[in-house]
Amino acid sequence: MTVALAPAPLFSGSDWDFALINRIYETVEPIALQEMKLDIYPNQIEIISAEQMLDAYSSIGMPLFYKHWSFGKQFVTNEMMYRKGLRGLAYELVINSDPCINYLMQENSATMQTLVIAHAAFGHNHFFKNNYVFKQWTDAEGILDYLEFAKRYIAQCEERYGQLPVERVLDAAHALMNQGVHRYPRVRPRDLKAEAAREAERQAYRDRIYDDLWRTVPTGARADAIPSDARRAALGLPQENILYFLEKTGPRLESWQREILRIVRLIAQYFYPQRQTKAMNEGAATYTHYRIMTTLHERGWLTDGAFMEFLSSHTNVVYQPTYDSGQFGGFNPYALGFGIMSDIERICLEPTEEDREWFGDIAGSGDPMEVLKDIWANYRDESFVSQFLSPHLIRQWRLFKILDKQGDSELRVDAIHDERGYRRIRRSLAREYEIGRQEPDIQVVDVDLSGDRKLIVEHSVLDGVQLDEGDAAMVLQNLANLWGYEVLLKEVESETRKELKSHSAQPNMAWLR
């Protein structure tokens, strides 16, 4: 493709104004949409000050949120870190909504604004719109309206019932927030027609197999038909979404309390995809901005100086400290995502023998953008790493795997970057991103309906790692308060079904009133 070179660079120096932002956007847009063929929600770019960025930070990045002290806590921490210079603020914030809202900080230089537009307005935006996890779980059109509703509703509750009772419900709900997520695709509401059709089908089946003879078969005194199973089915158990369970069946909750649980749960659900796609999301955005910025520079839209500024900031973003550098705090999602995606580009364009063996379907395909877009749409972190972490990258990053077995006195280096180790390392790293492993598997399994209404919750223990005891006790207390009766949490070895430990909590009677 022959492309006209820029008549003059977009800007020189670091100052920007609204006209320049417009020009930048108009220059970036054709590269992103026509050349890279990204598919995005319409963009809305909002310029905010550093103060406002701090505000946005402390309400999980959302422009409006209900009031709660924990956001204040977040705020004072961020504020202090920022003031002491321990942490800079993010250059941008982007909200998965339709239209996609991008916050740009006024303190950014013109180069940074270009970078941020490429990163957020095109990279993240494309990812939000196309990735299957987001498509499945989040409702980009409705989120801002919903937050508005939530904010208003909670403020009304505070007016009507007082700040303290509302705060208590929110505290309890926040403690269970991670257990307020449906992990499997939502059940579509059944419509009446389908219901009727199924009922008719069942009736027809009964008619067909009807035989009067059965009536004559003597029956003994029958025991109650499997009461526990029936009960559990009626309650929809086992249920891993504890907040959902409480909202629907909590015997002592007022309707406004149920609504608050629902609000917290729906917001948790909205953020659920983000937790599963951290590396991919950031990787996609970083890869996009890298391509766009390079293209802009090649065509003369960016001065060499601006490009150097970009490179310096880009390098910081994708820096991965090694395990012994003292700064190591896990894998940097930007670095991991960008690393794998750049490697995929290399595999598509200049594959080695090894790549052809490992990635036969994409090696040498010649069109990295198509391959990447397919990946961005159809993978999440776990599957992405387990499919596309290449031996080349494992060697480049010198990855190794450590095994810490219960009972052993020493750690063992289980795999390094060699022929024997590639697959093991890849599998192991992928498992670190598996959401089911990051978080404990906790389910409501039963309620003692005929007795004291005790709620039974089970943690299925993987690899012998139990719950953090102090926190578990506190959360359990909150759960008991919401449920209104005793709650029992059993920790059960997932394979052997052996019970390792159990905690229980009695509700605090003063709590609900």
Partner 1 sequence: MHIVDRRLNPGGKSLVNRQRFLRRARAYVQQAVRDSLKDRSIKDLDKEGQISIQRDVIHEPTLHRAAQGGSRERVFPGNRDYMEGDKIKRPDGGAGSGSKAGQGDGNDDFQFALSREEFLDLFLDDLELPDLAKRRLIGGAVDGIRRAGYSTAGNPSNLSVPRTMQKAMSRRLALRRPKGADLARIEEEIALIEARDPPLPDDAVRLEALREERSTIIRRRNLIAYIDPVDLRYRRFETVPKPVAQAVMFCLMDVSGSMTEHMKDLAKRFFALLHLFLSRCYEHVEVVFIHHTDRAAEVDEQTFFYSTVTGGTLVSSALEKLIEVVQERFRPDDWNIYVAQASDGDTMQSDNGRVVSLMQQEILPFSQYFAYLEVGREEFADIEMVGTTTGLWQAYAPVSDANRNFVMRKVHHRREIYPVFRELFQRKGVAERSS
Task: Find the binding residues for partner 1 in span 313-342 (CB under 8 A).
Answer: 320-325, 328-331
Q: Which of 94, 115, 475, 505 binds partner 1 (CB under 8 A)?
A: 475
Told to check if 59 binds partner 1 by CB under 8 A, we report yes
The minimum distance between CB 123 and partner 1, in angstroms, equals 15
Nearer to partner 1, 219 or 325 (CB): 325
Indicate the Cα dihedral angle 434, 280, 241, 69, nearest 10°. Answer: 120
Told to check if 253 binds partner 1 by CB under 8 A, we report no
The minimum distance between CB 30 and partner 1, in angstroms, equals 13
Q: Which residues, 6 or more positions from 22, have their beta carbon under 8 angstroms from its beta carbon?
A: none
Per-residue contact flags (x/-) with partner 1 for residues 175 to 194, judged by CB under 8 A? xxxxx---------------
Told to check if 204 binds partner 1 by CB under 8 A, we report no
Told to check if 107 binds partner 1 by CB under 8 A, we report no
Q: Which of 37, 152, 398, 498 binds partner 1 (CB under 8 A)?
A: 398
Told to check if 345 binds partner 1 by CB under 8 A, we report no
* Residue indicated by tokens 């580009």: 345
Told to check if 397 binds partner 1 by CB under 8 A, we report yes
Q: Which of 10, 27, 36, 68 binds partner 1 (CB under 8 A)?
A: 68
* 110 vs 17: CA distance, rounded Å: 9
Nearer to partner 1, 270 or 422 (CB): 422
Q: Which of 201, 350, 404, 495 binds partner 1 (CB under 8 A)?
A: 404
* 272 vs 134: CA distance, rounded Å: 9
Q: Which stretch binds partner 1 (CB under 8 A): 43-51, 144-152, 220-228, 504-512?
A: 43-51
* 205 vs 8: CA distance, rounded Å: 77
Phi/psi-derived region of residue 300, left when phi > 0, alpha when psi is between -120 and 50, beta in every other case: left
Q: Which of 18, 206, 221, 255 binds partner 1 (CB under 8 A)?
A: 18
Residue type, 359: F
Applying CB under 8 A, the site for partner 1 has a residue count of 99
The minimum distance between CB 27 and partner 1, in angstroms, equals 12
CB 472 within 8 A of CB 489: yes
Map residue 493 onto helix, strand or coil. Answer: strand
Map residue 487 onto helix, strand or coil. Answer: strand
| Residue in 13, 17, 11 with CA at minimum distance from that of residue 104 | 17
Q: Which residues, 6 or more positions from 339, have their beta carbon under 8 angstroms from its beta carbon?
A: 283, 318, 320, 393, 396, 397
CB 401 within 8 A of CB 428: yes
Q: Which of 3, 12, 13, 22 binds partner 1 (CB under 8 A)?
A: 22
